[in-house]
Structure 1
């Protein structure tokens, strides 16, 4: 465990926030998860508890370790409970205004001037969030991947204000404390992974949209022809089509490259609530 970061806060207890909280607790850290209210906080706790139970059932974690991890977690509906944290990771909806408001509030709440404020955003500029605080030098991106307990990668994203000391502390936290592989990226929309991934997914959407090939054939082609573990449209469904569209819009806003523009079919599917696995239907249909 790193000596500097022992108390962690996570803002947002959805799929990503719950996963980040879980890996922190499993690493032995005192972890507080903040949700919008007490009801949402209880849902977040249930989400983490189910994940820990599954890990124990699959032999990835023994029962006592799962119980210890859950015991290290506190779930709250108040940001004020994050005042004593060494690191706070924001993991709320991918909306610039919502994230900016949270960083502005955290700047006033988190007492330690050396604390790191991090965002799990996949596309919103870290600089924008840092400038909502009086400590932009201590703000960076810690971009985890879903599902967080399984996926080994974390992107460390530094803005023009982020100090080398802050970046080094975050990288040590990701590597030594959480056991993740860390890569570094400059503060550009999409960072490393999504800047490469999203144009690929959008190309698959355009192929299906034009009738060039069916969604099933597009996915089979990449799985069986390129040895990808999951086809691009299945992957888009897994990520969430609303999230894919949001990242695409951020990329297009930054670079103005046509390959980043979300296709009309993707936009219509989001408007229709056909978001992929989480809604039961996207490019494919899901049950249960």
Structure 2
């Protein structure tokens, strides 16, 4: 497993997402993922599964220093006191004294970015988080955060897969050595029978999902956190790392429509592009 170095942490490029997995199913998924070799676990207070993730980590036998754990603060908890309370609750549920990466899950329209980042940096200085970052930030918000405020963000976690164009955001992040962490990297399961990806997969003895995942992980500065509950699916995602896509494969993927955004909550920001 390769890593991305960012703000003093080593971020494994392939992680295990846990969105919409709760209770015993979440605990079992994280347990099997850790047993298979995953060391990057992604959760959030909004997922309602930090307790299950924490239980799995506690019994895994994996040394804490070998693990990367990300969690996130919800968009209605972005005042300084609320951020601290949210982190207290997350650490208690996760059974940890710190997380490796603490992210603003979604921007809020009335948020005070300087106050948010001041609070997050204090939490980092206190050792309760090792690095801070953001999710779902537009170019405008990234510029405000990084260029104007000088926030030391370790990543921007956004929807990214073969059917959406994130080139402008990716170019901005690369120029500043900030990783892009791709969530919904398999377009929420929509790629399993995609005909163009299937043709590439047949050539490599792989699946369309593996092709889509490897396309992401071949890109400089990109990590991915596909959700996978079953051990077979978790192993299949790990096996995607063995595929070697060629220039023809990449041209086929580049020609696919890139205007399909699937994560569109009512509170989402106004995106910088048509998607």
Normalised to the residue count of structure 1, the TM-score between the two structures is 0.34
Q: Which protein shows a greater Rg?
A: 1
Query: Which structure carries more helix by proportion?
Result: 1
Normalised to the residue count of structure 2, the TM-score between the two structures is 0.35
